[in-house]
Structure 1
Amino acid sequence: MSHDLSTAVPPSRRSSPKKRSRKAPKKRRTGRIVLLSLLVLALIVGGTGYWLYSDLNGNISGVDLDKAIGDNRPEKLPTSGQNVLVLGSDSRAGDNADLGTGKVAGARSDTALVMHVPEGRTQATAVSIPRDTLVTRPECTKSDGSKIPSAKRVMFNSVYSLAGPACVVKTVEAMSGVRMDHFMEIDFSGFKGLVDAIGGVTVTVDKPIHDKSSGLELSAGTHKLNGTQSLAFVRTRHGVGDGSDLGRIGLQQQFMIALLGEVKKQDLLGSPTKTFKIADSLTSSLTTDSDLASLKSLAEFSRSMQGVDPADMETIMLPVRYDTADPNRVVAAEPQATQLWKAIRTGGEIPESAKKSPAQGG
């Protein structure tokens, strides 16, 4: 399974208006790294029986969203299907301490997407939320019971470090009007362990990548990456294009297909040792809402998702534009963002105009 992982990225956030008017890159019908990790877990748990991994049950951490958020949440509509907020965290704690660069306090949601599965569960759409997006954070209750007030124009990825995942869920629900049925988070050590467990992922790049920040050095051509290299690949932003987070989103999306291809080529059912190793790596790094925080619940959820073909999954980015006061930040573009969230909330078709982002020339 060969994939051309082009390093072409959108124009710089600091470019002139003329440069920003470039034609947007073609839409890529792929998914994100965190989502694939969860789909792999779904294949393992749903395909082989959760009872084989009962001793992994205690690996999973759970967050009681109803208790943390309260009743002030969007209404769950009968046509809204399933909506899952998926986060990839860049915590420097525990096994993650050696996986990052620089000294970063606490943790941030490095990757965030809303996975929408319509009624019938045969297709899926993943909406990526750029971490540099300026949002209004609602009042939230932290894990210690203390409250933090609402605040405007805060960076989206700062919500996690300040108030935890429940506040991220509440923020996404407030900005979208879409009720999140579930929440899933995987940290970087889990992603690295997944890649190493399957023996690496083969990628092809058409331009060299040299990123001193992530340590990634790749010549143009085909490479088989181990877990550490893959982690650097999906986190690199200084080694390709303009160094923006918007460009990295495209690179992460492309990596997903290559990773899925490696998983599909392997006989997981015929290799219990490898399957256990993958499951152990993922569950040890997985946090979910309390309704999914067990192998039994994950197995049931996984089985309900078996009809979703990742090859048909559409990943789009929340339409954003550059902030007029701070060109290094983006804000939701209107009316595109409202059109997008309405379609997901009501189970309608997402209009083409809502799939285009002004910040990428759309």
Structure 2
Amino acid sequence: MLVLSVAGAGWWFYERLDGNIRTDTRTADELRKYEAERPVSVVRDAQNILLIGSDNRGGKGNGKYGKDTGTQRSDTTILLHLQAGGKSATAVSIPRDLMVDIPACDQPDGKRTHARFAQFNSAFEAGGAACSIRTVEKLTGIRVDHHLIVDFSGFKRLVNAVGGVEMCLKEPVDDDDAHLKLPAGRQVLHGEQALGYVRARYSIGDGSDTERIGRQQEFMGSLVKKVQSNGVLLNPAKLYPVLNAATSSLTTDPGLDSLKDLYALVRGVRDIPREKIRFLTVPRQPYTYNKNRDELVQPDADRLFRQLRLDRPVPVAHTVTASTDGDQKAGNLSPYQGTTAARGICE
């Protein structure tokens, strides 16, 4: 959301910044090969963008998060649905440990993987963004129009460029794996701290991936709020370093590989009210055969995917109660547990 928000405001920097963006032509080529099996778009002008946070540890200071093995997995994956007409934005997190059907995918060395049932994040490791996109499309029935990839270094540059992001820590954080030590209360997190915070798991709360995803969603909401409220979009002195960090951090498909393309996409996004920018996670529960993995909760997941596919609003609430068959038969979609960019960080 940050990249989309700030890119549209920097049109006058086009010539200098346009060359920063890396184009993922390999993914585009592979997706063309499998066009016949991909879902079709149902609603014109609605957009579905797959945001991939790669755990690539290359770059200064990232070795402490683990050895750079030359391979990478999707540390965070979000399906961002932009409603036609710029009415709303819905960001749906897909847990890395969700068990899914992964299709046979092409590898960079020319070899081909076998179709299998496995953890979602292994799709990116096996076949890059194309494999992740095809897996998401198979899971949801939603066509992915574009994708954006940001790695560890890019994430840190983006956060530093906006001057840090304020978060509310309900308890102190002391995480050796994330190299993070913070007191409880309001904190402004800068690049290295922010990366450690959104990746920390076992030392915060109940140690679950569910809580980590919730923190990531709160962080994104605070990030959007920071960019919309502190004059970044209207102040060239503040805007340029943010745009430079954003464009230097991106790998995109050919449809989004210039500031012109990004600008066309975000003109209707930057003015979406914060309460209409929603964050939630696919409905899931512990996997039947391995409690350390997740599986979808049905029919809740299919109802969510159908709402997005048909470009309909998805209600969210911080606390939800179980829906009833009567509610669904009456056509009332119960809220999904989630949050919005309007929610205060200490609420």
Q: Settle same-fold status: TM greater than 0.5.
A: yes
In the alignment, does 2:205 pair up with 1:244? Answer: no
Cα–Cα, structure 1 residues 58 and 355, in superposed 2: closer, same or farther, change >3 Å? Answer: same
Match of 1:177 among 110, 122, 141: 141
- Say whether the 8 Å CA contact 2:10–2:239 is kept in structure 1: no
Aligned to 1:343: 307
User: What is the match of residue 211 of structure 1?
Assistant: 175
Alignment of 1:119-198 (within 5 A): 119-152=84-117, 154-198=118-162
Supply the distance in 1 between the matched residues of 2:170 and 2:186 (Cα, whole angstroms). Answer: 9
In structure 1, what is the Cα distance between the partners aligned to 2:285 and 2:229? 40
Aligned residue in 2 for 1:223? 187
Aligned residue in 1 for 2:236: 272
TM-score by length of 2: 0.84
Instruction: Give the whole-Å Cα distance in 2 for the aligned partners of 1:311 and 1:235.
Output: 26
The answer to whether 1:114 aligns with 2:68 is no
Q: Give, as a single letter, the amino acid of the residue that structure 2 aligns with 1:252.
A: Q
Is 1:286 aligned with 2:247? Answer: no
Distance apart, 1:40 and its partner CA: 3.5
What SS class does the counterpart of residue 196 from structure 1 fall into? helix
Say whether 1:97 aligns with 2:62. yes
- CA distance in 1 between counterparts of 2:290 and 2:40 reads 34
Q: Which residue of 2 aligns with 1:56?
A: 17
Give me the identity figure in percent: 37
| Counterparts of 2:190 and 2:28, CA distance in 1 | 39
Structure 1: stretches of 5+ with no match in the other structure: 1-34, 358-362
Q: 1:118–1:197: structure 2 CA closer, same or farther, 3 Å change rule?
A: closer
Alpha-carbon displacement from aligned partner over 1:292-351 (angstroms, at most 9, x marks no partner): 111111111121323423442121110111111111000111111111112211224546
More displaced stretch, 290-299 vs 79-88 = 79-88
User: For this pair of structures, how many residues does the alignment match?
Assistant: 316
How many Å separate the matches in 1 of 2:61 and 2:125? 15
Q: Could you tell me the TM-score, scaled by structure 1's length? A: 0.81
Structure 2: gaps spanning 5 or more residues: 315-331, 339-347
The Cα shift of 1:262 comes to 2.9
Q: Structure 1's 202 and 349: CA in aligned 2 closer, same or farther, altered over 3 A?
A: closer
Root mean square deviation of aligned Cα: 2.2
Supply the distance in 1 between the matched residues of 2:164 and 2:245 (Cα, whole angstroms). 14
* Structure with bigger RCO (C-alpha 8 Å, 6+ apart): 1
Does residue 321 of structure 1 match 2:285? Answer: yes
1:189-225 per-residue CA deviation (whole Å, 9 max, x = no partner) reads 1221122222222322221122121121121222222
